[in-house]
Structure 1
Amino acid sequence: MHAIEVVGLKKTYGKGWRRAGQVALAGVDLHVPVGSAFGLIGPNGAGKTTFIKSVLGIVRPTGGEVRVLGGDPEDPAVRARIGYLPERLHLPGAWTATAFLGTVARLKNLRRDAAAHARLLERVGLADAAGRRIGGYSKGMRQRLGLAAALLGEPELLILDEPTDGIDPMGRVEVRRILQDEVRRGTTLFLNSHLLAETERVCDRIAILGQGRVLREGRLEDLQRTGHRWSVRFAPGASEQVLRAAGFTPVGEEGDGRWTLGTPDAAALNAALGQVIAGGALLVELRRDAQDLEAVLTDAVGEGVAA
């Protein structure tokens, strides 16, 4: 089952008579499994925020189909099951955090529960500022309050657009812990963030959006694999001549025993290892090389431009 199902999604702004308009989404297909932590990444102008607003029914697509939690995103009953934190958060400066959560709860048709709201503010680190006017909040505090509002009612789907923008590094750790707790609870998380390291720590699936279409999509660990290339570490004393003869290339500082090897398949890997082990090398560590998310994004966007 999918929390978000998008087929052939298109959105063009400013289209009219004799005007082609600006294409934001050029036929996006994307399925977000229930219970997953899904990250959407891409360069500025890729269409990420337009995609999110289309999924939420805030922007009406030019073409394609969108289903959220099995229903129409414009259905109030469906929207009530979604928690949303927008990229540009506008909060009433004259209100307190407690009053704001009470109003959001009423708009969501939730029972006003002062004790639950207090626990939620404590959870996001705003317990001591609950009675202060929002106008005196820092940007990071406003983001925390927006997250608290998104968490009201234990939503089935959390859609967060740049949730840690303006939050300090320690605060990001706290937010990450909250999001991981929500996923463990069974919530589906859909995250858009330019902070790739945060996305990498939280999400198990990734989609890369570029030029209005999905360039790559899949499990994070699959996207990060760099083909049949391996990082290997041998115990001190291994013969450099034997290792080089088998195709290994040294990496890191001299003498630390780390090498890399590219092979066409697993059989070639085993043959190379057998050759050096027969030559006296003692294998200590073997792992598949993986790119970080920044490298994956750069490669995907580069391929998209070339195509």
Structure 2
Amino acid sequence: MTMLHTTELTNWAVDLIDVHKTYRRKVKALRGVHVQVGRGEVFGLLGPNGAGKSTLVKIMMTVVHPDRALGTVLGRPIGHRGKLGRIGYLPENHRYPGYLRGEQLLDFYGALSKVPRVQRRKNAAYWLERVGMKDWAGTRIREYSKGMMQRLGLAQALMNDPELLVLDEPTDGVDPVGRRDIRLLLTELKGQGKTILLNSHLLSEIELVCDRVAIMKEGLVARQGPLRDLTERVLGYRVRLGGERAANAARIGSMSEKLAAMGARIEDHVVQLASQEIGRVNELIDLLRAGGLLIESVEPRRLSLEEVFVEVLGAGSHVGAARPT
């Protein structure tokens, strides 16, 4: 194994460069990955199963050793265990001893992170309340649902007041209200200056909380950058109508052929135009106004993260490594 080190202090909480990992039977899990996570940002790590996401996270957590790598995590070289006390980690499909109570589990993990006993008790009570598990603190874990296990796991990852929070599928099995609560908590933690690396298959969740994302495919980072940059391309326009729906329906019916010829369609009081040309938008607005319709708003329809994801995965079997932006 070749481990290249750098000690230069940067604004990156995670700076992984040219990371390679091949398992037995010559399975190439990582083929030169370059990922940078800025301090104080929420970063989304995306990709299909087998893309190498879990291997990359395990290398960060020193569970797996890379064949070759350059870079740092929290200013320490890759593989340096001294940084682990500053990281909170929620692995995917985590398992906890069912005979323990929630508060006991948090005390145990706090002790592993060398949190003083008195502070452990305070932290456990605080985080159990924050994740909505206060009333279940004294209940044995075997009685917890999947969603409750996820909440407990998040509290566990926060017991040591980490600088970097690494969360693997944190909302898996959590109901919509619980997912909203977790999003709000992550936003609050970001406001406190914590760095969050989020791995989730729920692209809608990623899109709501992340500043930057990396999409992995076949052991490479195929696309990476600020979320707003990846989704800036305009696919068309939405023209929202005002006025009475019944009256509008009659007016639209009289111009349905012209709308269809322009590539426009009506959906829930909104006219969708599948064209990026401003001239076509102006033509549509003129047509609607001439028909007696009130225009309430006009806004571009940009590429969604899901559409970017599908586009990347459909780009062919071989993709080049994307550099961070």
TM-score range, shorter chain: 0.7 to 0.9
Counterpart check, 1:224 vs 2:231: yes
TM-aligned CA deviation for residue 51 of structure 1: 1.0
- SS for the counterpart of 2:77 is coil
The yes-or-no answer on 1:295 pairing with 2:307 is yes
Q: Structure 2: which 5+ residue stretches go unaligned?
A: 1-10, 243-247, 320-325
CA distance in 1, matches of 2:136, 2:98: 13
- State the partner residue of 1:8: 18
Distance apart, 1:155 and its partner CA:
1.1
Q: Distance in 2 between matches of 1:231 and 1:277?
A: 11
2:267 aligned with 1:260: no
Q: C-alpha offsets along residues 56-111 of structure 1, whole Å, 9 cap, x if unaligned?
A: 22111111223111112433431111110011312122222222211211211112
| TM-score calculated relative to the size of structure 1 | 0.85
**Is 2:297 the counterpart of 1:285?**
yes
Q: What secondary structure is seen at the aligned counterpart in 2 of 1:225?
A: coil
SS of aligned partner of 1:11 = strand
Give the residue type in structure 2 aligned to 1:250: A
Q: Is the 8 A contact 1:248 1:259 kept in 2?
A: no
Query: Please, which moves more after superposition, 146-155 or 94-103?
Result: 94-103
- Rounded Cα–Cα distance in structure 2 between residues aligned with 1:85 and 1:66: 22
The letter of the residue matching 1:210 is K
Aligned partners of 1:299, 1:75: CA distance in 2, in Å?
37
Secondary structure of 1:149's partner? helix
Q: Which residue of 2 aligns with 1:151?
A: 158
Corresponding residue of 1:203: 210
Report the TM-score, using the length of structure 2 for normalisation. 0.80
C-alpha root-mean-square deviation of aligned residues, in Å?
2.8
Q: For residues 210 and 134 of structure 1, what CA distance do their matches in structure 2 show?
A: 36
Distance 1:257 1:293 in 2: 22
> Which segment is superposed worse, 198-207 or 217-226?
217-226
**In 1, Cα distance between the equivalents of 2:188 and 2:100?**
29
Matched, 1:111 2:116: yes
CA contact (8 A) 2:32 2:220 kept: yes
Amino acid at match of 2:198: L
With over 3 angstroms needed to count, the CA separation of the structure-2 counterparts of 1:295 and 1:110, relative to structure 1, is same
Distance 2:103 2:284 in 1: 66
Map Cα deviations across residues 211-268 of structure 1 (whole Å, 9 max, x no partner): 1111111222222233464334466779969x87xx95312249x46242534xxxx6
What's the secondary structure of 2:104's corresponding residue? helix
Q: Distance in 2 between matches of 1:94 and 1:108?
A: 22
* Distance apart, 1:130 and its partner CA: 1.1
Among 13, 18, 31, the alignment partner of 1:26 is 31
2:175 corresponds, among 155, 168, 176, to: 168
TM-superposed CA distance for 1:166, in Å, is 2.1
CA distance in 1, matches of 2:233, 2:97: 48
Change (3 A) 1:170 1:60: same
Q: Label 1:42 to 1:145 Cα distance change in 2 as closer, same or farther (>3 A).
A: same
Identity over aligned pairs, percent: 39
The equivalent residue for 1:80 is 85
